[in-house]
Structure 1
Amino acid sequence: MPLSTSSAAPQLFYSEGSPYARICRMALRERGLMPQVREATTTLRDPAAAVLPHNPVGRVPALVLRDGTTLTETTLILGWLDEHGSEPAMLPGDAQGLAAYGRVLGLLDGIAVWNRELRRPEAERSPSVLSLEATRANRIADALERDVADGVYANIDAGSLALLAVLGYAERRHTVWKWRMNRPQLELWFIRASQRASFCETLPPLSGI
C-alpha cells in the first residue's frame, strides 16, 4: 500500500547507536519507504529527549503514525512496514523463519545487557552477569554458524537484518566480543551481507567498548 509524502508523514525516531532501531532503518530502505517515512534522531535517558512526547517509554525505535499513534518495539514496527512499501516482506511467514528471527533477538538482548554492564564503573560491574552474557552470546553464535552454513539467513527479512544489526553492533560498539573466532561461515555471511546499501547507510558511531 503506497504512502503519500507530506509534512504529516510517519516519523521513525531512532538513536544512531541502537541496533534495534537500525533493524527498522534497514527495513525502511529494503522496502523502498525512505521517501515516505521521515527519520528523526533522539537522545535516550534524557528528560528532554525528542521522542518522549510521543513515547513515554523513552526507547527506540518509535514510529509515529499520521494520526499520532506511536508504535514501539522493533517487531511491531516491522509488521507495520510489511503493510506498506514493496517487497520483500520483513516478518517471516513460517515457524522456521520466526524461530531464526527469535534466536537473533535473543542474542541482541543479551549483548545489550552485556554492553550496559561494561559501561558501568568497573567496581560496579557484576562478574556473574558478564560471564553469563558472554557465554550466552558464544552459544548462540555457534548455533548461528551452523544456521548460516545451512542457508537459514539467506533471505532478506527480519532475521537477516537483525543478524546484520547485532554483528554490526559488535564490530563498532561491542568489540570486546570476538564473534568471528572459529566461525568462518558466519564471518563470510557478514562480509557478503554487509555490502547491502541499507547496512552501509545506517552505520552506528564507533564506541570505545
Structure 2
Amino acid sequence: MILIGRNLSPFVRRSAASLNLLGLPYTQRPLSTVADAAAIRALNPLGRVPALVLEDGEVLVDSAAILDALDEMAPDRALVPREGPARRTVLRALALAVGATEKLVAAYYESRRPAEWLWPENQARLASQAQAGFAALDRLAESGAWLCGESLTQADVTAVAGFDFAATVLPGVIEGRFTALAALRDRANAIPAIGDTRWQG
C-alpha cells in the first residue's frame, strides 16, 4: 500500500500512525497539496490528502474511509470497536477529536490569508471552537489511561495528531491549556508507531 501526503497534515498523520499500530506494511509518498497538486489530483479529484493506494490499485480518499478499511484489514487489532457501547464511546470521542482538528485547520488557513483579506473575528471563532473540542478531550483524558479507558483507540490517535498540529502551526491556541491531553499526547508519542510519525519539518 502507498500512503499519499505529508505528516504535517493531521489526517495524513493519523492514517500513518494507524497503519503502524495495525502492523500493515506501506510506503509513503510525502506529496504536498501545493507543490504536487497535479499528482494528487490524479489520485483524488478533490486534490486533498490523504489518499491510500491499495495493493490492487484501488485508491481510497479521505482519512475516515481509509481508517475504516484499515480496521477491516486487521480486525483483531481494530482501533474502533466494531459494535455496541464500546464503539459508540469511541465514536463520540473521535467526533470531538476530528471536530477540534478540523476547526484548528480552518483557523490555520484563515491565518494564512493575504493581509488585506484577513478576518480576525473568524479566526478567533474557529480557534475558540477548536479549544472547546480540546477542552472536552482534556476532560476525558483526566479519567483514565486513554480517552476511552485502558486501551488506546482511534480517538487517541486522532486527538494526538490534531494536538500536535496545533502545537506546530498555532501554538497559542493550546499553550498553557489542556494539561491532561498534553500528558496523553506525550504517552502516545512515546509509542514508536505514533511518535515516529510526528512532523519534523
TM-score (norm 2): 0.87
Structure 1 residue 183: deviation in Å? 2.7
Residues 38 and 139 of structure 1, relative CA distance in 2, 3 Å threshold: same
Q: 1:161: how far off?
A: 0.3
Residue 140 of structure 1: SS of its match in structure 2? helix
Identity of matched residues, %:
26
Q: Which residue of 2 aligns with 1:11?
A: 2
Match for residue 63 of structure 1? 52
**Count of residue pairs brought into register by the alignment:** 194
Partners of 2:113 and 2:79 lie apart in 1 by 35
State whether residues 13 and 63 of structure 1, in contact with CA within 8 Å, keep that contact through their aligned partners in structure 2. Answer: yes
1:190 equivalenced with 2:189 (yes/no) = no
Letter in 1 for 2:28: E
Tell me the SS of whatever aligns to 1:56: coil
2: CA distance, partners of 1:125 / 1:182: 26
Q: What is the match of residue 124 of structure 1? A: 117
Counterparts of 1:87-126 in structure 2, within 5 Å, are 87-93=76-82, 94-126=87-119
The structure where helix makes up a greater share of residues is 2
Secondary structure, counterpart of 1:176 in structure 2: helix
The list of structure 1 runs, each at least 4 consecutive aligned residues, that deviate by more than 4 angstroms after superposition, is none
Secondary structure class of the residue paired with 2:28: strand
The two structures have a TM-score, normalised by structure 1, of: 0.84
For the residues of structure 1 that align with 2:116 and 2:193, how far apart are their CA atoms? 39
Separation in 2, partners of 1:183, 1:41:
30
Structure 1: runs of 5+ lacking an equivalent: 1-9
CA RMSD of aligned residues (A): 1.9
Q: 1:134 — aligned with what?
A: 127
Q: Is the 8 A contact 2:71 2:80 kept in 1?
A: yes
1:73 maps to amino acid:
D
* Structure 2 unpaired stretches of 5+: none
Q: Report whether the alignment pairs 1:78 with 2:67.
A: yes
